[in-house]
Amino acid sequence: MPIKNRFAELLPEITAWRQDLHAHPELMFDCHRTAGIVATRLREFGCDEVVEGLGRTGVVGVIKGRSTASGRVVGLRADMDALPIHEATGLDYASKEAGKMHACGHDGHTAMLLGAAKYLAETRNFDGTVVVIFQPAEEGGGGGDVMCRDGLMARFGIDEVYGMHNWPGVREGTFAIRPGPFFAATDQFEIAVEGRGGHAAKPHQCIDTTLVAAHLVVALQSIVSRNADPTQEVVVSVTSFVTESQAFNVIPQHVTLRGTVRTLNDEMRALAETRLKAIADHAGAMFGAEARVDYRRGYPVMVNSDTETDHAIRAARAVAGDCAQAPLVMGGEDFAYMLNERPGAYILVGNGDSADVHHPHYNFNDAIIPAGCSFWVELAEQRLSAA
């Protein structure tokens, strides 16, 4: 296809951008270098407007078509932040920042959207406006929410919005998507168990917090196995069990449990929170201890709009020949906030046979850049058809 051929020509240039970003990862909202590079590139491409500092370090570029008579505006979003992981790839362009790594491919997402912006600013073969959105703090910071609260959608008049993520283990350059709930809501909990510490040889004089906490770890699994509708997807995971003592002969006064709850609809989300609090309260009371719950709601469920999912499928098929049905994902994605503001869709592009995301050996596959860039351009030109 002509679009794909053009991006094959641009591949060395876009790859160089990507590998530079990979070598200089930034966390959360501290994306100043990345945002600066993005803004500079967008101005060099000739974008009609470039706005920095939206959502603290987010960048937005506006590209108007040859005509804007339609009045339609399509938003395309990429994330920019890295993860607090020490890289173990040994690549020539590996992270130069100890303890920071682009282990989720946001460097590739940013590079692909920059490549698409370059092409769209050159050709402007559409009727309307394309808004390219570069977002910080996807990895736990809710940067999408912050950008929306800063007026992203209304300020740029965005009618519909789209996102894309690479997917390891799936054939490179292929696409997958699903309508409706796609990525899960991501909640966190901390349970502070307080009892009566003492000597391990005299348990009758103590209220054993480790016993209470152990019962809690087991009992919390009943939320999924006995409270939730078995046709609904719910995950409850206790991921941390911390006591205040490392001694062999001490029953600790305090134990802290931490974990996560993942759900795909509001009903199950509310049920899981209610049951978790009730189980903690009663488990503590059963042993004469106190179990205090701090439950924090995180990213909402990410829901693809039916119509916009169809638009994304059409664009993916034009580029790759097909678009597969994606599985439900119990991981979280803060693009959910943007989809709560406007109709849109989120699509996956295969990264090939690579380590999984959030792994110290992961690396974004530069070979998928032409497919990702082509998808963005195809989608923009189809949605803003000048015909």
| Residues 312, 372 within the same domain | yes
- Per-residue confidence (pLDDT) for residue 246, from 0 to 100: 85
CA distance 46 to 42: 7
Q: Specify the 3-state DSSP secondary structure of 373.
A: helix
| Residues 85, 33 within the same domain | yes
- Which residue's entry shows tokens 């209220």? 207
| Residues 176, 60 within the same domain | yes
Alpha helix stretches (DSSP H) within 294-334: 306-320
> How many angstroms from the chain centroid is the CA of residue 177?
15
| Residues 193, 246 within the same domain | yes
Tokens of 290: 């106190």
CA distance 124 to 84: 39
Inter-residue contact 24 to 36 (CB < 8 Å):
no
**Residue positions counted in the chain:** 387
Query: Quick one: 295 exposed, middle or buried, by C-beta within 10 A (0-12, 13-18, 19+)?
Result: middle
- Residue 302 pairs in a beta bridge with 183
Tokens of 207: 């209220």
- Per-residue confidence (pLDDT) for residue 2, from 0 to 100: 54
| Residues 155, 236 within the same domain | no
| Residues 159, 24 within the same domain | yes
Residue 65's identity, in one-letter code, is: G
- Per-residue confidence (pLDDT) for residue 363, from 0 to 100: 98
- Per-residue confidence (pLDDT) for residue 244, from 0 to 100: 86
| Residues 218, 340 within the same domain | no
CA distance 110 to 59: 11
CA distance 235 to 240: 15
Choosing from 256, 276, 296, the residue where a domain stops is: 296
Q: Specify the 3-state DSSP secondary structure of 218.
A: helix
Choosing from 262, 296, 330, the residue where a domain stops is: 296
Inter-residue contact 187 to 294 (CB < 8 Å):
no
Phi, psi values for residue 120, rounded to 5°: -65, -35
Inter-residue contact 58 to 147 (CB < 8 Å):
yes
Range of the domain at 236: 185-296
Cα→Cα distances 97→21, 24, 73, 100, 357, Å: 11, 7, 38, 6, 18
How many domains does one find in the chain?
2
| Residues 35, 100 within the same domain | yes
Q: Specify the 3-state DSSP secondary structure of 66.
A: coil
DSSP 264: S
| Residues 312, 263 within the same domain | no
* pTM, two decimal places: 0.94
209: left (phi over 0), alpha (psi -120 to 50) or beta: alpha
Choosing from 244, 269, 296, the residue where a domain stops is: 296
* Tens of pLDDT, residue by residue, the chain (387 residues): 456 778 989 999 999 999 999 999 999 999 999 999 999 999 999 999 999 999 999 999 999 999 999 999 999 999 999 999 999 999 999 999 999 999 999 999 999 999 999 999 999 999 999 999 999 999 999 999 999 999 999 999 999 999 999 999 999 999 999 999 999 999 999 999 999 999 999 999 999 999 999 999 999 999 999 999 999 999 999 999 999 888 999 999 999 999 999 999 999 999 999 999 999 999 999 999 999 999 999 999 999 999 999 999 999 999 999 999 999 999 999 999 999 999 999 999 999 999 999 999 999 999 999 999 999 999 999 999 976
**Domain with 291 in it: what CATH number?**
3.30.70.360
| Residues 279, 306 within the same domain | no
| Residues 168, 223 within the same domain | no
| Residues 271, 128 within the same domain | no
The number of helix segments (H) and strand segments (E) in the chain equals 11, 16
Alpha helix stretches (DSSP H) within 127-261: 143-149, 152-156, 209-219, 222
CB within 8 Å of 64: residues ≥ 6 apart: 48, 124, 128, 129
**Domain with 149 in it: what CATH number?**
3.40.630.10
- The number of C-alpha atoms within 13 Å of 323 and in the hemisphere containing its C-beta is 21
